[in-house]
Amino acid sequence: MKGEILKAARLIILSIWLMGLGSNAQLNSTFYASTCPNVSSIVSGVIQQALQSDARIGASLLRLHFHDCFVDGCDGSILLDNSGSIQSEKDAAPNTNSTRGFDVVDNIKTALENSCPGVVSCADILAIAAEASVSLAGGPTWNVLLGRRDSTTANQAGANTSIPGPSESLSSITSKFSAVGLSTTDLVALSGAHTFGRAQCRTFSNRLYNFNGTGNPDPTLDTTYLATLQQTCPQNGSGTTVSDLDPTTADTFDNNYYSNLQNNKGLLQSDQELFSTTGASTISIVNSFSSNSSSFFQNFAQSMINMGNISPLTGSSGEIRSDCKKVNGS
């Protein structure tokens, strides 16, 4: 009996490994070395152009890669528009009236199709754009792993449930990271992305007046910062007004996010929880990234690679979309 189970287990492991050989090849940093050697500078060039008129665009592009990877892996699914067969992830709760930068992704795709037609996937564009955006804002650089292919489907329901929300508990957010193979260190490092970009009042106003039914603001919010946020987001005001995620250096990629948390100046509830949840293992990681910027940069780069490795389509799975918004031939 025991032997039979062992034999079956071996067979299963062998067949998973064989399937891996067929469709699950590893990404690598030289995937386009001969087919599109200039891909990084082309992507970076379009982003530099966009930054001239929109200081926030790098943050928006980084977030697109995150929201792509957390839903069925980094497969460009977030870029697909509604159509007969597609229920767009753009209309999912975490994305609607919130994700931005799709026009810049289209400009990048157009530039790449001009230089290397039919070669670079939309999923890889998001990964390359994320690195370029971070490095152009003063953050770390890393060798982006490439070779992802694009999905022919979207998963709006998955986007509704798999992407963490700003009022979720630390344990629930930790579970969502764990569900895609990311650790607590990855969670703390990647949350450092909130060192730039903006958030709308509707994503944190629950903290400002009547937190969790207490009739009072979130007690973990610094009172001076609270007063500023109440001015930006008055009760019954527009939920779409934006505030800087990092009140100290709004458009720079640095480790101030972590000292903000130590000073009770995390903007989102999900940010402050990393430091203010009693007994949480995230506290010491926040402290270490706050005191050592190079440690944060090193960990952020590694965690971006980890996130970028979430279930890519490789080999002959999926396709290289010629228009990021549409499945080929549709």
Q: Does residue 148 interact with ligand HEM by CB under 6 A?
A: no
Of the candidate residues 9, 14, 22, 30, the single one contacting ligand NAG (CB under 6 A) = 30
Annotated binding site for heme b: 194
Shortest distance, position 255 Cβ to ligand HEM, whole Å: 14
Length of the chain: 330
Which residues are CB-contacts of 78 (< 8 A; sequence separation ≥ 6)?
A: 64, 67, 68, 71, 89, 90, 95, 99, 126, 154, 159
Of the candidate residues 9, 14, 16, 28, the single one contacting ligand NAG (CB under 6 A) = 28
Nearest Cα to Cα of residue 104 among 69, 143, 62: 62
Which residues are CB-contacts of 136 (< 8 A; sequence separation ≥ 6)?
A: 44, 47, 48, 51, 58
What is the CB-side half-sphere exposure of residue 287 using CA atoms within 13 A?
Answer: 6
Partner whose footprint covers residue 157, from ligand HEM, ligand NAG, none (CB < 5 to 8 Å by kind): ligand NAG
Q: Does residue 190 interact with ligand HEM by CB under 6 A?
A: yes
Which residues are CB-contacts of 66 (< 8 A; sequence separation ≥ 6)?
A: 130, 190, 193, 307
Q: Does residue 232 interact with ligand NAG by CB under 6 A?
A: no
Partner whose footprint covers residue 30, from ligand NAG, ligand HEM, none (CB < 5 to 8 Å by kind): ligand NAG
Closest residue to ligand HEM using C-beta atoms: 197
* Nearer Cβ to ligand HEM (138/315): 138
Q: Which residues bind ligand NAG (CB under 6 A)?
A: 25, 28, 30-31, 38, 41-42, 45, 92-93, 96-97, 147, 156-157, 160, 212, 235-236, 292, 294-295, 298
